[in-house]
C-alpha cells in the first residue's frame, strides 16, 4: 500500500527550494516539493488480522480511505487529532507504533455511529474503534477504558439475571471508575441531570403544584426496589451460563 499520509513523513524527507525558476517558470516553495522515499520495516503484517479477530473489526480490510467517517465524526468536530480514517489506515499497514501515539484518545469514541451510517464500504468504523481499544487493553498498552467497564457491568447483569437495572449499572460503573458520586450529584452533571429529570426547576420557581404533578414517583421507587431485590427474567435458568460459555468459546476461537 503506498503511503500518502503527511503525518508519516519526517521533515527531513521533504525537500523544497524557497527560490527556484525552471525554464523561466517560477516554481518556488511548495511547487517544487520532492519527497525522499522511506522504507518501512517496523510494521506487523498480521496486525489487520489481529484487529479483525475482535468484535467490530471484521470489515477493516474493506476501507478505501474516502475519509467520510472522519468528516462526519462527532469527536473529530471537537478534536482534529481524532481521526478514524487515519487509524484504520495504520491498522491496514500494520503500523502499531504510529497507532499507539494516539492511544489516549481512541477510547473517546462516543459510539454515535455517524461514521458507520455514512461509510460506503460497510467497514463499520465505530466497531473498528472498539476493536482497537480492546486490543490495546488486552496488550496492556492502556488500562480499561470507561466504556469497557460500562460494557462489562452491563454484560454481567445480562448474563446473571437476563435483564439490567439502570441504577445498578450506573452505581457499579461509578464505583469501577472511582468517581465521587457525592461530588457528581452536588456539583457535577449527575445533579443537573437528576434535577431536570425530577423537574426541580419548577420547585425552585415556587410552582409546587406543577412540581408535584410532573414529579416521577413510581419510577424512582421501582428503581430502588429493583436495586435491593434484583429481579431476574422469568425462566432465565441456565441460559446465562450457556451464553457465558458461548462468549468465552468465541473469544478463544477469535484470539487463538
Q: Does the footprint of ligand SF4 cover residue 130 (CB under 6 A)?
A: no
Does the footprint of ligand SF4 cover residue 127 (CB under 6 A)? no
Q: If binding is defined by CB under 6 A, does position 148 make contact with ligand SF4?
A: no
64 or 189: CB nearest ligand SF4: 64
Integer Cα distance of 133 and 66 in angstroms: 23
For residue 58, the minimal CB distance to ligand SF4 (Å) is: 13
Q: Find the shortest distance in angstroms from Cβ 154 to ligand SF4.
A: 18
Of the residues 57, 114, 134, 157, which one makes contact with ligand SF4 according to CB under 6 A = 114
Q: Is 233 in the site for ligand SF4 (CB under 6 A)?
A: no
For ligand SF4, which stretch binds (CB under 6 A), given 70-78, 99-107, 136-144, 228-236?
70-78
Q: Does 98 bind ligand SF4 (CB under 6 A)?
A: no
Rounded Cα distance, 239 and 163, in Å: 12
Closest distance of CB 74 from ligand SF4, Å: 4
Residues 226, 165 contacting (CB under 8 angstroms): yes
- Among 17, 27, 53, 66, indicate the residue that binds ligand SF4 (CB under 6 A): 66
Q: Does 115 bind ligand SF4 (CB under 6 A)?
A: yes
155 in contact with ligand SF4 (CB under 6 A): no
Q: Which residue of 73, 91, 106, 145 would you call a contact of ligand SF4, by CB under 6 A? A: 73
**Does residue 123 interact with ligand SF4 by CB under 6 A?**
yes
Interacting residues with ligand SF4 (CB under 6 A)? 63-69, 72-75, 84-85, 88, 109-115, 119-121, 123, 125-126, 129
Amino acid at each position: 500500500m503506498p503511503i500518502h499520509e503527511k503525518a508519516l513523513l519526517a521533515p527531513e524527507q521533504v525537500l523544497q527550494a524557497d527560490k527556484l525558476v525552471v525554464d523561466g517558470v517560477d516554481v518556488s516553495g511548495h511547487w517544487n516539493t520532492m519527497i525522499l522515499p522511506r522504507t518501512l520495516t517496523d510494521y506487523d503484517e498480521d496486525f489487520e488480522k489481529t484487529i479483525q479477530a475482535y468484535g467490530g473489526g471484521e470489515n477493516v480490510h474493506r476501507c478505501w480511505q474516502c475519509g467520510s467517517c472522519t468528516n462526519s465524526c462527532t469527536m473529530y468536530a471537537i478534536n482534529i487529532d481524532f481521526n478514524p480514517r487515519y487509524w484504520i489506515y495504520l491498522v491496514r499497514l500494520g503500523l502499531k507504533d504510529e497507532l499507539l501515539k494516539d492511544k489516549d484518545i481512541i477510547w473517546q469514541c462516543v459510539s454515535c455511529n455517524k461514521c458507520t451510517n455514512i461509510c460506503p464500504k460497510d467497514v463499520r468504523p465505530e466497531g473498528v474503534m472498539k476493536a482497537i481499544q480492546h486490543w490495546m487493553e488486552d496488550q496492556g498498552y492502556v488500562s480499561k477504558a470507561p466504556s469497557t467497564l460500562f460494557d462489562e457491568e452491563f454484560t454481567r447483569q445480562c448474563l446473571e439475571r437476563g435483564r439490567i437495572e439502570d441504577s445498578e449499572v450506573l452505581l457499579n460503573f461509578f464505583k469501577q471508575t472511582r468517581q465521587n458520586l457525592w461530588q457528581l450529584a452536588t456539583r457535577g452533571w449527575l445533579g443537573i441531570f437528576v434535577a431536570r429529570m425530577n423537574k426541580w426547576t419548577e420547585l425552585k420557581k415556587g410552582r409546587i403544584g406543577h412540581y408535584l404533578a410532573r414529579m416521577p414517583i413510581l419510577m424512582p421507587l421501582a428503581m430502588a426496589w429493583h436495586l435491593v431485590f434484583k429481579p431476574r427474567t422469568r425462566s432465565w435458568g441456565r441460559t446465562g451460563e450457556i451464553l457465558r460459555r458461548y462468549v468465552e468459546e468465541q473469544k478463544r476461537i477469535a484470539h487463538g
